[in-house]
C-alpha cells in the first residue's frame, strides 16, 4: 500500500463502533482520533475547545440543511468576521484538521462526518457500524447501569442528534449506505471478526 491510509468510522450509539475503532487502530499501529480533534481544532483556530465541544454533533438544528460543498475547500472564516465562531466555522476548522491528518499519517477517525470530509481523497475506507436496537440497548444498559427505558431514550436522542449534524453539513442521510464502503452489523460477529473484515478490505487496496 502506498501513501497514507485512513479509516473513518460512523456509528450508531451502542453499536460499539468507537470500541471497534480503538481496537483497529491499536492492532494496525495507527493514530486514533475522536474528541481530541476538538482540541486540535481549538489549537488551530484559537477558539475555545468548549465551544467546539458544545457544537460537536449536537449544536445544529435540522431546520436548514446546509450542503457541505462549500466547507471543504480549506477556507475558514477570519477572526474579524461576526460569524467566526459560528457552527459552520467550527465545522470548517475540524474539516481542515481532518484533511491535514489524512494527508500526513495513517489513522482511524471516529465520527464528525469524516467520511464525507474525505470523500474525494484516495486510500480512505469509510465504515458505518450499526446494530439492532435491542443489542444497542443491552450494551448501553451494561455500560452505564441504565434501565431499558433510560437506555432506549438515550440511544434515540443521541442518534437523532448525530443524524441532524450529518444532514446539516452534508445534505445526506447519516445512514445512507452509498456514503460508506463497508456497513457492519456488530451484533452478528465478534469484534475480532469485524476488524478482520476491515483489514481484509484495507489489504485489497
Query: 98-124, pLDDT tens digit by residue?
Result: 999 999 999 999 999 999 999 989 999
d(CA 166, CA 62): 10
Share above pLDDT 70 across residues of the chain, in percent, rounded to a whole number: 78
* pLDDT attached to residue 88: 76
User: Are the CB atoms for 113 and 38 separated by under 8 Å?
Assistant: no
Per-residue CA distances from 103 to 68, 116, 131, 180 (Å): 20, 15, 31, 20
Per-residue CA distances from 121 to 42, 76, 155 (Å): 24, 20, 32
> Over the stretch 65-103, which tens digit does the pLDDT of each residue have?
454 444 455 565 545 454 454 677 778 888 889 999 999
Residue 62: pLDDT over 80? no
* pLDDT attached to residue 92: 83
Greater model confidence, 47 or 65: 47
Q: Is 136 left (phi over 0), alpha (psi -120 to 50) or beta?
A: alpha
Domain locations along the chain: 6-203
* pLDDT attached to residue 76: 55
Q: Give residue for cell 473484515.
A: 197
CATH of domain 6-203: 3.40.50.300
d(CA 187, CA 182): 15
pLDDT confidence bin for 34, thresholds 50/70/90? very high
Computed from CA positions of residues 6, 11, 13, 15, in that sequence, does the dihedral angle turn out positive or negative? negative
Average pLDDT over residues 127-138: 97
Q: Which residues of 81-107 are buried (b: 16+ CB within 10 A; e: fewer)?
A: eeeebebbbbbbbbbbbbbebbeeebb
Nearest to 179 by CA among 197, 166, 192: 166
Amino acid at each position: 500500500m502506498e501513501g497514507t491510509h485512513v479509516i473513518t468510522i460512523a456509528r450508531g450509539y451502542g453499536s460499539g463502533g468507537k470500541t471497534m475503532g480503538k481496537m483497529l487502530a491499536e492492532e494496525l499501529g495507527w493514530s486514533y482520533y475522536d474528541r481530541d480533534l476538538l482540541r486540535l481544532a481549538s489549537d488551530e483556530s484559537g477558539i475555545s475547545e468548549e465551544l467546539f465541544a458544545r457544537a460537536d454533533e449536537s449544536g445544529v438544528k435540522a431546520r436548514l440543511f446546509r450542503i457541505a460543498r462549500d466547507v471543504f475547500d480549506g477556507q475558514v472564516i477570519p477572526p474579524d468576521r461576526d460569524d467566526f465562531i459560528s457552527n459552520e466555522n467550527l465545522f470548517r476548522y475540524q474539516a481542515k484538521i481532518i484533511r491535514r491528518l489524512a494527508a500526513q499519517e495513517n489513522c482511524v477517525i471516529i465520527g464528525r462526518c469524516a467520511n464525507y470530509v474525505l470523500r474525494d481523497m484516495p486510500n480512505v475506507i469509510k465504515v458505518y457500524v450499526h446494530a439492532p436496537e435491542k443489542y444497542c440497548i443491552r450494551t448501553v444498559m451494561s455500560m452505564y447501569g441504565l434501565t431499558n427505558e433510560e437506555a432506549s431514550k438515550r440511544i434515540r436522542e443521541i442518534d437523532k442528534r448525530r443524524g441532524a449534524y450529518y444532514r446539516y453539513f452534508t445534505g445526506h442521510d447519516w445512514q445512507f449506505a452509498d456514503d460508506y464502503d463497508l456497513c457492519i452489523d456488530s451484533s452478528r460477529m465478534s469484534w475480532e471478526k469485524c476488524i478482520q473484515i476491515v483489514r481484509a478490505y484495507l489489504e485489497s487496496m
